[in-house]
Structure 1
Amino acid sequence: MSFKKIIEPLKENLKRNGITEPNALQTEILSKIKGGKSMFVIAPKNAGKTTSIVISVINKLKDEFEDAPRALIFVKDKEACLKLAEIFNTYKRGTNLRVYCAYEEHNMELQREELYLGTDIVIATPKRLNKIFYLNGINLNKLQMCIVEDAEFLFRNNNLAEVTRTPESIGRCQYLVFSDKYDDRFDRWQDSFMHLADVIEFE
């Protein structure tokens, strides 16, 4: 997919930051993501995975809509959460999309109150997201995209089980998993909620 097919504010923000054409990875996956395909995207560091996430989410959601989030992105920790939010804030200028970060170091009750006010994109650590969800602090019924960034962290501290709980609680959704390498434990997801997912391996 060329950048001609993305919304104008995003195109301008990319251009402003020196990005005028999709790189090789983005050329291969962006149109599939736009079409709603669930995927495991396996590519090395610096291949453009994070930028692909940001472009795809902004282009698909376009603007603020209702109060419940439509995109959920799992990350490993607070630092990754804030870093990804900063990238979103750079490229969503000109839209009114709302981005919210949920991580352990923040006050739980305050997070629930802030989420109640409405957001479009939630970037969260798995444990904090599940705590908020089971306290009825977030509505996932409108979720369109569920994404894992740098998925290697899933195999530490029971994160795989934490993330696996989310599809059990939501309806139909597009799932995108970005990782440096494919792990055999992903086979469980292919056997359940990602059984029609493509595996895109990029070198």
Structure 2
Amino acid sequence: MPFKKLNPEIKEKLEKFEIITPTPFQTKSIPVIKSGANVYCSAPKGSGKTTTLILTTLQKLKFEPLGDAPRAVVLVENKEKALEMFEAFEKYTQHKEIRVYVGYEELHIDIQKSEIFMGVDILISTPKTLNKLFLTNGVSSSQLKILSVDDAEFLAQKSNYTAIMAVTQTIKRCQYVLYTEKIHPMLKRFEAHFMEFAKKVEVS
């Protein structure tokens, strides 16, 4: 059972939320993501993709703060999705020391830079905003361990596609996990770039 092999603090949170049995998608995906491979995860809405993203991110960071630079990045389409993801993370990280920060295009880049400078473990952002942060030295990618993309279909849009390509060229080494309902042909192109040797977890 995937939940049994997670960090004790994560299991404690799952028990609190009465999440006992993993979904079929979680049973298949969590061990593959924990292995450290790049992964394309596709499953219908309601399969537990967002919870999987949160659990595997916290697992990768051992559910503890460390250093100042983000060790995990979660990319989403827009401000609304960013705030939703932040709230979803907050359920697990409330009253814990691990630091989650949310940024988006409507928030002035200088504000984001100064707040990130104070120290962040998990950064939730959009591809365009993250690219801007990298270009202006507003965030370091040196400690990055995992980059996940929620509902990754939006990366097929030209501006987001360009931004994610620029972002991944800035990152030297990192695990990438893309969550989607269906693997868009445009997303498959990433295999020639940052999604090298990617594994696929598909649940229909």
Which residue matches 1:188? Answer: 189
Structure 2 length-normalised TM: 0.95
Letter in 2 for 1:46: G
Which residue matches 1:148? Answer: 149
* Contact 1:10–1:93 (8 Å) recurs in 2: no
Give the Å deviation of 1:156: 2.7
Which residue matches 1:44? Answer: 44
- Identify unmatched segments of 5+ residues in structure 1: none
Q: What CA deviation, in whole Å up to 9, does each residue of 1:67-87 have, x standing for no partner?
A: 010111110111111111111
Which residue matches 1:30? Answer: 30
Aligned-partner Cα distance in 2 for 1:171–1:161: 18
Q: How does 1:37-186 map to 2 (within 5 A)?
A: 37-61=37-61, 62-93=63-94, 95-156=96-157, 158-186=159-187
Aligned-partner Cα distance in 2 for 1:108–1:173: 24
**Segment drifting more, 187-196 vs 111-120:** 187-196
Letter in 2 for 1:198: K
- Identify unmatched segments of 5+ residues in structure 2: none
Aligned-partner Cα distance in 2 for 1:181–1:2: 23
* Contact 1:9–1:95 (8 Å) recurs in 2: no
* Contact 2:42–2:182 (8 Å) recurs in 1: yes
Aligned-partner Cα distance in 2 for 1:82–1:129: 15
Aligned-partner Cα distance in 2 for 1:192–1:130: 17
* Cα pair distance change 1:155/1:192, threshold 3 Å: closer
Give the Å deviation of 1:93: 3.9
* Contact 2:79–2:105 (8 Å) recurs in 1: yes
After TM superposition, what 4+ stretches of structure 1 lie above 2 angstroms from structure 2? 92-95
Which residue matches 2:5? Answer: 5
Letter in 2 for 1:179: T
Give the Å deviation of 1:89: 1.1
Q: What CA deviation, in whole Å up to 9, does each residue of 1:45-98 have, x standing for no partner?
A: 111110000010011102001001011111011111111111111112453111
Structure 1 length-normalised TM: 0.95
* Cα pair distance change 1:163/1:188, threshold 3 Å: same
Aligned-partner Cα distance in 2 for 1:64–1:138: 17
Letter in 2 for 1:6: L
**1:177 partner SS:** strand
Give the Å deviation of 1:157: 5.3
* Contact 1:73–1:148 (8 Å) recurs in 2: yes
Letter in 2 for 1:12: E
User: What RMSD over aligned residues (CA atoms) do the two structures have, in Å?
Assistant: 1.3
Aligned-partner Cα distance in 2 for 1:152–1:158: 13
Aligned-partner Cα distance in 2 for 1:73–1:117: 19
Q: What CA deviation, in whole Å up to 9, does each residue of 1:111-163 have, x standing for no partner?
A: 11001011000000111111111111000111110111001111235101111
- The question of 1:14 aligning with 2:14 is answered yes
Number of aligned positions between the proteins: 203
Letter in 1 for 2:148: I
